[in-house]
Structure 1
Amino acid sequence: MQPIYLPVMWLSYVPAILLDVDLRVVNLFFIALASGLALRFGRRKQGHEQWWVYLPLLLLLSYILITYTTFITITEEPVVVGFYALLGYSVYHQRTGWVVVALAGCLLSRYALIFWAATYLIYMLWQEDRRKALWIMGGTAVLCLFLMIISQGIYEIDLFYSLKDAYLDSFQNPDIRWRTENTIAKNIGLARFFGFDHLLVLHRAVFLGSLLLPPLLYIWYHFRLRGKVASSLFALCSLKLCLVYFFNMNALPYSYLFYTSTFLSLVVLGVLSSSFAGKLATEGF
């Protein structure tokens, strides 16, 4: 078949092909990466583990490895899960180099964060570290360009752009109405509350909301939360909120799409547990 995915979605599997190993190893690697990033937050400086991070992760991994194994065997979504978890981790810890890698990986796999990324960088440029913002912008642009060139995706921009027409066909073509309704009925998300004739409206709301939500969140942060919440924590939480909106409002809510936001929730949970443990340690508990 003609590959239609953005470059990082398939470039991630090239090492496994070169080493002649099972492609599922790549999916397991990215799931392990996301899990490790969440667990790293769940350790206190004294070395004690916060078990409330382990429990939901154990339940999630049990489901993926035992019940819903097709997430590993026939989807590329673990790649997206890994890069978004890395982005959340890097943004919170303010690791410039890793933010660049993660942003490029996210934008060239599933670009759901494109408006959040623009808002995050503009706010950093305006109110925080101008030099760091420019480094992230320039580094991400160069890395994305490099990946587009080596994958030859730069010569297929029209193909990527035309995919939206095939996607819209799912909401407008009565011949495949049964397929769209079947997908919606079997999965979660808000699309089940909309009739087939209104799915196009929902799709437009996804775009409009994804465009407006990040700047609205940052306006709220700037005027109400700036003195109370660290900018790195707000960046992580705002990314999570934007993913919640995007995937839950998606008019074709395939189940595997929700794992990205779910693993990012574990990263956020790890941040909160680590902060709570640190507060208790400071107060002598």
Structure 2
Amino acid sequence: MQLNISRQAANYLKYLLPFLICIFGDISFYTFWRNDLGPHISPVIFTLFGIGVGITFFRILFAGYKGKFQYDRKLPSVTGKPQRYTYAYLILIPLLAYWYFELSGVFQSLPIDFDTNPFKTRSDVIPNVMSYVKKTVNGEFPYQPIRGKEWTYELMPTYLTMTWLPYIPAELLHADYRWVPVIALTICILVYYRQSIPLKSNPLFFWLAFIAPILFLYLQTKFNIEDFKLTVEGLVTAYYLLLAFALGKKKYTWIVLMVLLCLLSRFSLLFWLPLLVLVVWQEYSIRYVYKGILAIAAGIVLLYGIFMIKDPNIFINAVRYYSSATVGEWTIADWLKEQGGQHPFSLSRGTGWAIWFYDYLDGTLEEKIAILKKVQLIIVSATTLVLCWHYWRHRMHTNGWLYALGSLKISLVVFYAFIQIPYAYLYILPVFLNLPMLIYGLKILNGELQPVSATKPDHHQ
């Protein structure tokens, strides 16, 4: 009996340990180890750990199909002890309350309004969002040039609809916009706990799943507080987290809805969609693919296309403005030169590979940026092709929805690795995607999820 338990524990470690190491490396190189190895090596290690999370997740997924975790476990479990739910939530509530208290102090220390010069608040992201919202509430066309009373420059409107539309209630209630992404992330955390504390969990997995979001929020708040203080990226991250949970639960309607919201906030999802099409086709039928495409197209027309009726060029103008803004971000600012800075600020944060192209390519900034764009397109497209080929080859031997989740992580990591302006706050999205991957990986290891989708026959003998 003791030997059998030891073998089971060794089997757990064989698959779980590499998975946890990659997750730890991913969050570490985004928080307390960020840029510790310098602006060139740090993003490489950061990217490798992110891809590693996806690969080790696939390893668990395919091992589950082979029956590695489908056995009579003699390890302790929490079955029949629902009070553990109560204890967990009793711990969670004050921790979330303390997090809210800390953020409240942070927000009060730096009030942000639309007209204040962004150089005083060190960010124009939130004032940018305010512009769309205020104009919409006042019955004006939101996609107009943006400039507050104290601003020394003008911005062109580039944000997609779901980046700013959810902030209308905050404007009407005269609330701080920064609470919107915080509340959105809180909803995701509650969804996570709803799925991550099943009665069948053994104590190790139970507490590992419980501690993970707390640790993520602690590290993010301690080392990347500006992501909450100066940006609203948490809302976009929440869209992707809800998409991940929808994939894990195989909720087709929710998947379609969250794909729509993700597309109307960030284009980074586009390259992953061919894989999702294959999964829907395999798990359901081509009819569901057409239904999903039509629903998403209708949503885009309704929520974004309606603004193009007044100005058909808002999308093209946004793309052009982003390209011109990229050159500015690749230029070393005067204040940075005075401090002896050798690289543009956004390129030297230890997150993206753009600094390699900045330092080691010849030519003008425009030429270097153009090459990076081509490299990103080639590598991300190649990644999508490999993932599609690998899925199709093994489609009868895996859970397609969970494969889509793992591939989403890899696709986003590669996309953001080669993004032209690697703003550090953008990477909260792929990093926090580790949370749903962790819970579904643990569920597979614990024998609680079908390694092959129930919507197709299981060919495992």
Would the TM-score normalized by the shorter structure come out above 0.5? Answer: yes
- 2:214 is the counterpart of 1:58: yes
In the alignment, which residue of structure 2 is the partner of 1:241?
410
Deviation, 1:112, is 0.4
CA distance in 2 between partners of 1:272 and 1:171 (Å): 39
In the alignment, which residue of structure 2 is the partner of 1:74?
230
- 2:385 is the counterpart of 1:215: yes
Cα 1:209–1:73 shift into 2, 3 Å: same
Q: Which has the higher contact order (CA 8 A, sep 6+)?
A: 1
CA distance in 2 between partners of 1:32 and 1:6 (Å): 23
In the alignment, which residue of structure 2 is the partner of 1:182?
345
In the alignment, which residue of structure 1 is the partner of 2:241?
85
Moved more, 236-245 or 22-31: 22-31
Match of 1:191 among 354, 376, 380: 354
Moved more, 108-117 or 118-127: 118-127
**Counterpart of 1:219 in structure 2: which amino acid?**
W
Cα 1:33–1:103 shift into 2, 3 Å: same
CA distance in 2 between partners of 1:202 and 1:16 (Å): 38
Match of 1:226 among 375, 383, 395: 395
In the alignment, which residue of structure 2 is the partner of 1:163?
321
CA distance in 2 between partners of 1:146 and 1:173 (Å): 38
Q: Could you list the per-position Cα deviations for residues 237-266 of structure 1 after superposition, in whole angstroms to 9, with x for gaps in the alignment? A: 111110111112223221111110011111
**Counterpart of 2:407 in structure 1: which amino acid?**
S
CA distance in 1 between partners of 2:417 and 2:374 (Å): 13
Please say if residues 125 and 134 of structure 1, whose CA atoms lie closer than 8 Å, have aligned partners that are also in contact: no
Deviation, 1:126, is 6.4
Match of 1:267 among 420, 433, 436: 436
CA distance in 2 between partners of 1:24 and 1:174 (Å): 29
- 2:447 is the counterpart of 1:278: yes
Please say if residues 87 and 98 of structure 1, whose CA atoms lie closer than 8 Å, have aligned partners that are also in contact: yes
Match of 1:252 among 421, 425, 433: 421
SS of match in other structure, 1:113 = helix
Cα 1:55–1:153 shift into 2, 3 Å: farther
Q: Could you list the per-position Cα deviations for residues 44-101 of structure 1 after superposition, in whole angstroms to 9, with x for gaps in the alignment? A: 2447772222333222211333443221222121111011111111122221221122
Deviation, 1:122, is 4.7
In the alignment, which residue of structure 2 is the partner of 1:10?
164
Cα 1:163–1:208 shift into 2, 3 Å: farther
Q: Could you list the per-position Cα deviations for residues 126-175 of structure 1 after superposition, in whole angstroms to 9, with x for gaps in the alignment? A: 6742232222111111111111145x256322322323422442477688
- 2:39 is the counterpart of 1:39: no
Deviation, 1:8, is 0.9
Please say if residues 280 and 289 of structure 2, whose CA atoms lie closer than 8 Å, have aligned partners that are also in contact: yes
Percent of aligned positions that are identical = 23
CA distance in 1 between partners of 2:305 and 2:294 (Å): 17
Please say if residues 44 and 278 of structure 1, whose CA atoms lie closer than 8 Å, have aligned partners that are also in contact: no
SS of match in other structure, 1:4 = coil
Please say if residues 233 and 426 of structure 2, whose CA atoms lie closer than 8 Å, have aligned partners that are also in contact: yes
CA distance in 2 between partners of 1:228 and 1:34 (Å): 30
Q: Which runs of 5+ in 1 are unaligned?
A: 281-285
Q: Which runs of 5+ in 2 are unaligned?
A: 1-145, 147-155, 362-367, 450-461
Higher helix residue share? 1
Cα 1:227–1:119 shift into 2, 3 Å: closer
SS of match in other structure, 1:54 = helix
CA distance in 2 between partners of 1:191 and 1:17 (Å): 36
SS of match in other structure, 2:268 = coil
Q: Could you list the per-position Cα deviations for residues 190-213 of structure 1 after superposition, in whole angstroms to 9, with x for gaps in the alignment? A: 334443463533332112222232
- 2:204 is the counterpart of 1:19: no
Please say if residues 6 and 153 of structure 1, whose CA atoms lie closer than 8 Å, have aligned partners that are also in contact: no
Q: Could you list the per-position Cα deviations for residues 258-284 of structure 1 after superposition, in whole angstroms to 9, with x for gaps in the alignment? A: 11001111111111112222359xxxx
CA distance in 2 between partners of 1:96 and 1:128 (Å): 10
CA distance in 2 between partners of 1:168 and 1:16 (Å): 31
**Counterpart of 1:268 in structure 2: which amino acid?**
M
Cα 1:19–1:100 shift into 2, 3 Å: farther
**Counterpart of 2:246 in structure 1: which amino acid?**
S
Q: How many residues align?
A: 278
In the alignment, which residue of structure 2 is the partner of 1:115?
271
CA distance in 2 between partners of 1:153 and 1:80 (Å): 22
CA distance in 2 between partners of 1:174 and 1:16 (Å): 36
CA distance in 1 between partners of 2:163 and 2:322 (Å): 17
Cα 1:124–1:167 shift into 2, 3 Å: farther
Please say if residues 37 and 85 of structure 1, whose CA atoms lie closer than 8 Å, have aligned partners that are also in contact: no
Please say if residues 262 and 269 of structure 2, whose CA atoms lie closer than 8 Å, have aligned partners that are also in contact: yes
Deviation, 1:38, is 3.3
Q: Which has the larger radius of gyration?
A: 2
CA distance in 2 between partners of 1:69 and 1:153 (Å): 36
Q: Could you list the per-position Cα deviations for residues 9-40 of structure 1 after superposition, in whole angstroms to 9, with x for gaps in the alignment? A: 11121121123222122011122133234333
CA distance in 2 between partners of 1:73 and 1:174 (Å): 24
Cα 1:169–1:25 shift into 2, 3 Å: same
TM-score by length of 1: 0.85
Match of 2:256 among 100, 112, 118: 100
Moved more, 3-12 or 65-74: 65-74
Please say if residues 275 and 404 of structure 2, whose CA atoms lie closer than 8 Å, have aligned partners that are also in contact: no
